[in-house]
């Protein structure tokens, strides 16, 4: 099983979107890219930790490719807005792809380049090496489903 880590604004909705895909075994929400390996939602919300809210996707590469996940990621959020998605504003809501190996980085660069052509140079999605990923608190896992909102 492979993993992909994607920041597409508030992590609640993208989490449930990714889990619908055939070949996705499970998803979890967390924080990535920050200054230290441990953080909390309250700390991330201050905007001082440099973490992004992310969805970690566990998938079967024999059923769905990393490239397909990336293209889906670019469809479920606006990759042209800097540090915001809808009403959520702050660096924790940025658009970012966190790769775990060089092959993922190369694929991500190509997919983002293609998207940037479609969006006439306006894509702000960052591509970064995974750093300091930590799983979000249990109450954030499948939050919208728990609250009956989806």
Q: Which of 10, 32, 45, 134 is catalytic?
A: 10
Active site residue 134: no
Give the 3-state secondary structure of residue 108.
helix
The position carrying tokens 């959520």 is: 88
Asked whether the CA dihedral 24, 27, 33, 36 is positive or negative, the reply is negative
Beta strands in 33-142 (DSSP E): 52-59, 84-85, 88-89, 95-99, 126-129, 134-135
- CA pair distance 128, 46, nearest whole angstrom: 22
Report, as residue numbers or ranges, the catalytic residues: 10
């Amino acid at each position: 099983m492979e993993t992909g880590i994607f920041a597409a604004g508030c992590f609640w909705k993208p989490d449930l979107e990714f889990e619908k895909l055939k070949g996705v075994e499970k998803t979890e929400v967390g924080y990535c890219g920050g200054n230290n390996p441990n953080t909390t939602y309250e700390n991330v919300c201050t905007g001082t930790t440099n973490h992004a809210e992310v969805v970690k996707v566990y998938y079967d590469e024999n059923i769905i490719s990393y490239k397909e996940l990336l293209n889906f990621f670019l469809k479920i959020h606006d990759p042209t807005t800097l540090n915001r998605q809808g009403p959520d504003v702050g660096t924790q809501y940025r658009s970012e792809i966190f790769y775990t190996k060089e092959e993922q980085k190369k694929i991500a660069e190509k997919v983002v380049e293609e998207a940037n052509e479609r969006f006439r140079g306006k894509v702000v999605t960052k591509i970064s090496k995974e750093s300091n990923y930590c799983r979000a608190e249990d109450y954030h896992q499948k939050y919208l489903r728990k609250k009956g909102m989806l």
